[in-house]
Amino acid sequence: MDTEGYILRTIDYKDTSKLLYVYTETGIQSMIARGVKKMQSPLRHLAQTSNRIMMDLSSGKLPTLKDATLIDHHPSVKQDLVRSTVLSVINELIYYNVSAEDDHPKLFGFLKKFIEVLKTTDHPMELLMVFELKFLFFAGYAVPLRHCHVCKSEEGLAFDVHEGALVCANHKNPNHHYYEAEIYRPLRYYYYVDVLNFEGLSVDKPTLKTLHEAVNHLHSMHMGHTSKAKKILNSLID
């Protein structure tokens, strides 16, 4: 029982088994969980999405999950529609966007801290943007949110949607769409905050909606996959 993992996704496999896609400190590990759909299987309740487990695997490229123990099944998250949907968005983001070269120990550590905060925050929709913005940075797409990305000036700043970056008055393009301070300041906070110190900004609903539009736009610029869970979540803001 030596590998810690977090189950991103499960797929039914044959009559009684499941394929598990588990995030670990070495990346996404796929495995077969044999017989776990049987009522009497001891691993039945462990082989579920968003569970954190300790695993014992057979060797080979597609190993079998031989044994597992539960670390946390995050009941307070799973019982809440918004929190559980936020976690589904994150599961999809990791599943579809991490690659072999990424710094997995770093992301795995961040994921664990993030879920701890998700359990208790009163602002899960804002917290999601912390993950989404930091995930862009993790994937190699820096989002310049402190000063103009061209000249580093801090005068007359606005967030250029097309550039995905802050620009100063001198570097504004009249054909571009901009977000002003009431949008880029929260984005800056989400991007740079230590997640363990996160406190929601209690933004109003229209602002929250615009913030999500801005982050969604950044993700559509840089990430290949459009999240199904994110669509569900966006419908919850309306």
Smallest separation, CB 173 to Zn ion (Å): 11
CB-nearest residue to Zn ion: 148
> Between residues 53 and 157, which has the closer beta carbon with respect to Zn ion?
157
Applying CB under 5 A, the span of 67-75, 83-91, 151-159, 193-201 interacting with Zn ion comes to: 151-159
151 binds Zn ion (CB under 5 A): yes
Residue numbers 165-194 binding Zn ion by CB under 5 A: 168, 170-171
| From candidates 90, 148, 158, 166, binder to Zn ion by CB under 5 A | 148
Q: With CA atoms as reference, report the closest residue to 195 among 126, 104, 110.
A: 110
Smallest separation, CB 192 to Zn ion (Å): 20
Query: 136 exposed, middle or buried (CB, 10 Å; 0-12, 13-18, 19+)?
Result: buried
Amino acid found at 164: G
Which residues have CB under 8 Å from 26's CB, separation 6+?
104
> Between residues 28 and 168, which has the closer beta carbon with respect to Zn ion?
168
> Between residues 147 and 222, which has the closer beta carbon with respect to Zn ion?
147
161 binds Zn ion (CB under 5 A): no
Secondary structure (3-state) at 196:
helix
Secondary structure (3-state) at 206:
helix
* Three-state helix/strand/coil letters over 16-42: CEEEEEEEECCEEEEEEECCCCCCCCC
> Between residues 161 and 237, which has the closer beta carbon with respect to Zn ion?
161
Binding site for Zn ion (CB under 5 A): 148, 150-151, 153, 168, 170-171
